[in-house]
Amino acid sequence: MKIIADENIPCVEQAFASLGDVELLPGRGMRPEQVRDADILLVRSVTRVDEGLLAGSKVRFVGSATIGFDHVDREYLRGRGIGFSTAPGSNAISAAEYVISALMILAGKNRVDLDGKTAGIIGCGNVGSRVLEKFTALGIRCLVNDPPLKEQGGHDDYVELEALLQADIITAHVPLVSEGDHPTFHLLDRVFLEQLKPGAILVNTSRGPVADNYALDHLLAQRSELSVVLDVWEGEPEISMPLLEKVALGTPHIAGYSLDGKLRGTEMIYKAACQFLQRPVQWSAANELPATPPLDPGTFTVDDAGGNVRRAVLDCYDVREDDARLRAILSVPRQERPACFDRLRKEYPVRREFQTRKITSAGLDKTSQVVLRGLGFAC
Q: Which residues pair with 3 in a beta bridge?
A: 22, 40
Catalytic residue positions? 207, 236, 253
What is the distance between the alpha carbons of residues 359 and 296, in angstroms, rounded to a whole number?
Answer: 7
What SS3 state is found at 368? helix
- C-alpha distances out from residue 27 to 45, 104, 134, 333, Å: 8, 34, 33, 23
* Secondary structure (H, E, C), 56-104: CCCCCEEEECCCCCCCECHHHHHHHCCEEECCCCCCHHHHHHHHHHHHH
DSSP annotation of 378: B
What is the distance between the alpha carbons of residues 29 and 19, in angstroms, rounded to a whole number?
Answer: 24
What SS3 state is found at 33? helix
Other beta carbons less than 10 A from residue 21's beta carbon: 13
With CA atoms as reference, report the closest residue to 345 among 46, 92, 33: 46
What is the distance between the alpha carbons of residues 270 and 283, in angstroms, rounded to a whole number?
Answer: 8
- C-alpha distances out from residue 158 to 40, 87, 236, Å: 41, 26, 32
Helices (H), the chain: 12-16, 32-35, 51-54, 74-80, 92-110, 126-137, 147-151, 190-193, 213-222, 241-246, 259-277, 305-316, 319-327, 337-346, 366-375
What is the distance between the alpha carbons of residues 290 and 341, in angstroms, rounded to a whole number?
Answer: 27
DSSP annotation of 53: H
What sign has the CA pseudo-torsion 45, 336, 235, 213?
A: positive
